[in-house]
Amino acid sequence: MKNQRDKLQQYRKRITILTDRETAIAKECLALNDRKRALLALRRKKYQESLLDKTDAQLAQLEQLTGQVEFALVQKDVLFGLQQGTQVLNTIHKEMGGIEGVERLMGESEEARAYQEEVSQMLQGNLSTQDEEDVEDELEALRQEIAEPVHLPAPPTKEPPKREPVLEQQQEPEVQTRTALPA
């Protein structure tokens, strides 16, 4: 389609050149007082202009069609993206087990919570008031043990005494002397 559009634009340029030439011929004929040839040139110009109008209309239709095709391609890409997104969502839903899987999980969680509550109620029923107080006291002791900071010894407040460096006595290196021995 774009090639066809380019050909129409080239044809339009050629017609424009022809109409300009026919106008120039009509002017020349009028200058030579040749009215018939001037009218003929203007009629050819008028015909070329009607062809130019038709070409412009065809070019506009072609441009509109090109735009519609490009828009359809964009819509196709959007549709393809939506299809891929739907496939991904379906895969995720299958992995989750669908609504039934979520409901089953929620039911299991509720059952586990109810079971824990039942165990707590049974333990509370078997414990006497004194036992319950002991459990509460032990819980409080554990909380305090966890919350208590670790006591470290206090840092020193005085500067340590300065010691004089002990200098090691420097030993003089032994000088070896050589003595000549009689031969």
Question: Rg of the Cα trace of the chain?
Answer: 54
The total domain count for the chain is 1
Asked if residue 105 belongs to a domain, the reply is no
Asked if residue 56 belongs to a domain, the reply is yes
Are 69 and 1 contacting, i.e. CB atoms less than 8 angstroms apart? yes
Residue (of 23, 30, 58) closest to 44 by Cα position: 23
- What is the pTM assigned to this prediction? 0.42
- Summarised one tens digit per residue, pLDDT across range 14-44 is 999 999 998 999 898 888 888 898 888 889 9
Q: How far apart are CA 127 and CA 124, in angstroms?
A: 5
179 secondary structure, DSSP code: -
Asked if residue 107 belongs to a domain, the reply is no
Asked if residue 45 belongs to a domain, the reply is yes
- Summarised one tens digit per residue, pLDDT across range 53-103 is 998 898 889 889 989 999 999 999 999 999 999 999 888 888 887 788 778
Q: How far apart are CA 61 and CA 128, in angstroms?
A: 94
**Domain housing 43:** 1-74
Asked if residue 148 belongs to a domain, the reply is no
- Summarised one tens digit per residue, pLDDT across range 94-115 is 888 778 877 888 888 898 888 8
